[in-house]
Amino acid sequence: MYDLLVIGAGPGGYVAAIRAAQLGMEVAVAEKEEALGGTCLRVGCIPSKALLETTERIYEAKKGLVGAKVQGVELDLKALMAHKERVVQANTQGVEFLFRKNGITRYQGRARFLSPHEVAVGEEVLRARYILVATGSVPLIPPWAEVDYERVVTSTEALSFPEVPRRLLVVGGGAIGLELGVVWHRLGAEVTILEYADRLLPGMDGEVSRAAERVFRKEGLGIRTGVRVKAVRPEGGEAVVELEGGEVLRADRALLAVGRRPYTEGLDLERAGLGLDERGQIPVDDHLRTRVPHIYAIGDVVRGPMLAHKASEEGIAAVEHMVGGFGHVDYGALPSVVYTHPEIARVGLTEEELKARGIPYKVGRFPYSASGRARAMGETEGFVKVLAHKATDRILGVHAIGARAGDILAEAALAIFFKASAEDLGRAPHHHPSLSEILKEAALAAWEGPLHL
Ligand code: FAD
């Protein structure tokens, strides 16, 4: 009998397992894949960032570097993919090491409930005082899409195309579609992104996502917003996309990136006394407890944004609640970053959300073009925007587009976590010259006024 059985070793499950072991629990983890780390480490965050980081350098070198003449830059796709695989392996093996270090027992195989306290993994029947479901998500394939995983693919296959497609259609202009679209565009594909909403990255602050659209269009990425895709299918060695209104688009490949859905197949949840809500998620309370009090659920399989760090924070909160009766996730301080170049990032509420909630706010903006460090880097595109409460000055949201905007926002997330005001952030010393000064100046702009503008 274990104290805790975790089902799924993604960033939700594996982090929960480590924290539980640190708190003195006897922990087992069931994971159906050979490698640990879940979607994020195997076919999500990590491989996509390996491709984004490396293709950015190739793209830069091809465009020409300041102060150098670069000739004969040639793509070696095999080497690029091998690098990505090595990065994935280093990370998934890192989790294996952490499991050993923390005395966590690993079972490989698909887990299914036999009863509220018993879970089968292969021939083995495991019993535990607490069970944590962290089975994550898989790509959403709507009924109008026919995916053959070759011509019409999901994000998993788009991380490993064997050659650069000449034309690539991306259905869905969210973070995953844009990141992978940018990767293949940099490598020479003619990429068109098709988005149903009236703007790219509909989850981001409107001003930022419109700025992103302008930047990527200028770079030659095809972006069509406000288009409804009626069908996508493989046909005659090509991918075909039909739009409402009758237009038909053809390409070598199409990437379907319209979202992800919670994954609970084969878990036999009903044997544990559990069900799903109308969105296919496992319902949980504020403490991440399901309706069966000793079974908790976290990450992509429950409500909230599908983000790796959200899953991890929930994993920590869930096991701390099991052990100490208290665990908390500050959802308002969860950053979200699109790792393109420029990066696009948000933390807290967008201007649209503030308006919809009727919260009085003030705005401070500061452009990269006014930062000495950004100029030195040749990175003058973009801005940081701070939204603060009109009466109390408390920071409610920070949004950015620009080089390393995600790194800048780490500090904004901390400010929101500590409930700082724009004045706090604007008065705090920031090293010079740094991109972090852009955030300081944007906070000053929201408070009384920037110094360098
Ligand atoms: P998962 O990571 O999906 O892990 C669930 C695990 O459970 C899997 O390993 C699965 O094999 C296992 N499992 C499922 N059912 C069973 C069963 N019955 N028995 C045993 N094991 C089972 N998020 C970010 O925050 N930043 C990013 O940059 C980012 N980039 C992404 C890029 C791509 C291309 C994709 C697809 C996703 C990206 N995400 C990113 C999202 C992120 O990967 C997920 O939010 C995160 O992995 C969710 O973690 P999780 O632990 O809930 O689930």
pLDDT recorded at residue 66:
84
Task: Confirm or reject: Cβ of 154 under 6 Å from ligand 1.
Answer: no
In short, whether 443's Cβ falls inside 6 Å of ligand 1 is: no
30 CB within 6 A, ligand 1: yes
Instruction: Output the CA torsion 302→308→311→312 (10° steps).
Output: 170
**From the alpha carbon of 158, which atom of ligand 1 is closest?**
34
Instruction: Summarize pLDDT for 421-442 with one digit per residue, the tens.
Output: 999 999 999 999 999 999 999 9
Give the per-residue pLDDT at 275: 96
Q: Evaluate: CB of 172 within 6 angstroms of ligand 1.
A: no
Confirm or reject: Cβ of 261 under 6 Å from ligand 1: no
* Tens of pLDDT, residues 216-259: 999 999 999 999 999 999 999 999 999 999 999 999 999 999 99
Residue 374: is it exposed, middle or buried by C-beta count within 10 angstroms (0-12/13-18/19+)?
buried
Per-residue pLDDT, averaged over 145-168, amounts to: 98
* Residue 63 pLDDT > 90: no
Contact call for residues 136 and 263 (beta carbons, < 8 A): yes
Amino acid identity, position 295: I
**Protein residue whose Cα sits closest to atom 40 of ligand 1:** 45
Mean pLDDT of the chain: 97
Ligand 1 atom with minimal separation from the 309 CA:
25
Ligand 1 centroid, distance to 255 Cα (angstroms): 19
CA of 263 to the centre of ligand 1 (A): 10
Average pLDDT over residues 163-169: 98
Rg, C-alpha atoms of the chain: 23
Catalytically annotated residue among 341, 430, 432, 452: 432
pTM score of the predicted model: 0.97
Question: Distance between CA atoms of 354 and 162, rounded to whole angstroms?
Answer: 45
Return the minimum-mean-pLDDT range out of 8-17, 54-63, 133-142: 54-63
Q: pLDDT tens digit string along 277-319?
A: 999 999 999 999 999 999 999 999 999 999 999 999 999 999 9
pLDDT of residue 346: 98
Q: How far is CA 249 from CA 147, 241, 252, 449, in A?
A: 16, 5, 11, 49
Retrieve residue 183's tokens: 């990767």
Catalytic annotation present for 432? yes
Quote helix, strand, coil % in the chain, to nearest 5: 35, 25, 40
Q: Which pLDDT belongs to residue 407?
A: 97
Query: Across the beta sheet with 361-367, what order do the strands follow?
Result: 336-338, 343-348, 395-402, 382-389, 361-367
353-407 pLDDT per residue, tens:
999 999 999 999 999 999 999 999 999 999 999 999 999 999 999 999 999 999 9
Which residue minimizes the CA distance to atom 3 of ligand 1? 136
At residue 149, the pLDDT reads 98
Does residue 342 line the site of ligand 1, with CB under 6 A? no
